[in-house]
Amino acid sequence: MSVPVITIDGPSASGKGTVAAIVAQRLGFHYLDSGSLYRLLALHARKLDVAWDAELPLAALATTLPAAFEQGRVWLDGNDVSEDIRAEEIGIGASKVAALPAVRAALLQRQRDFAVLPGLVTDGRDMGSVVFPQAATKIFLTASADERAARRHKQLIGKGESANLPRILQDIIDRDTRDAARAVAPLRQEPDAFLLDTTELTIDQAVETVLRCFGQSQASGI
């Protein structure tokens, strides 16, 4: 690809967003949190009273989704919704709308348009398999379900929100199952993606691993 692209795919709460954002900052690349687009759509649909299983109405909303990513914040129709889209309920809604083929098709080109010089780091569930299949550096970042639940629980407690660890763990397991089983762009590790298990790693260690993979792909001329 003429524009360097690093894709970081993985399951919910694996830390891929945090790692991707830091890698983008370190390299001076643009950053796309693809999951935010689906979270924005789920939130937008909820505000407009559109059901999360209404495929065609949701696809229509996706084509005109008034979304913007500026200064590290996420905007919907001119309103800062960076915190709103991180609610557990909206995350569940995002997983549901993301399973709809018409919705994914509507958001495909919008995601690809983020690939501009000097480069792009993007995270999601099908970045390396569907959106940027020719990316030189593909990472599949994961962690055990127990570790991911513990991280999410700590994050919510840190925000002063109530959090039930067993429920969070079950939600993560359910979402993993749903994401892996969906008919369109299921969550999976591509054959040419590097498996990065962060269960026992710090964020800094994960970031350094991704940067090392990128450096190796650049050196080999991939």
Residues tagged in the binding site annotation for ATP: 10-18
> Which secondary structure element, helix H or strand E, spans residue 35, and what is its range?
helix 34-47
* CA dist., res. 177 & res. 11, Å (int): 10
Residues belonging to the binding site are 10-18
**Angle at 171 (CA atoms; ends 49, 95), nearest 5 degrees:** 45
Cα–Cα distance, 144 to 149 (Å, whole number): 9
C-alpha neighbours within 13 Å on the C-beta side of residue 210 = 35
**Which of 47, 87, 49 shows the shortest CA–CA distance to 66?**
47
- Rounded-to-integer distance, Cα 205 and Cα 198, Å: 9
Work out the number of other CB atoms within 10 angstroms of the CB of residue 96. 20
Burial 185-221 (b: 16+ CB within 10 A, else e): bebebbeebbebebeebeeeebbebbbebbeebeeee
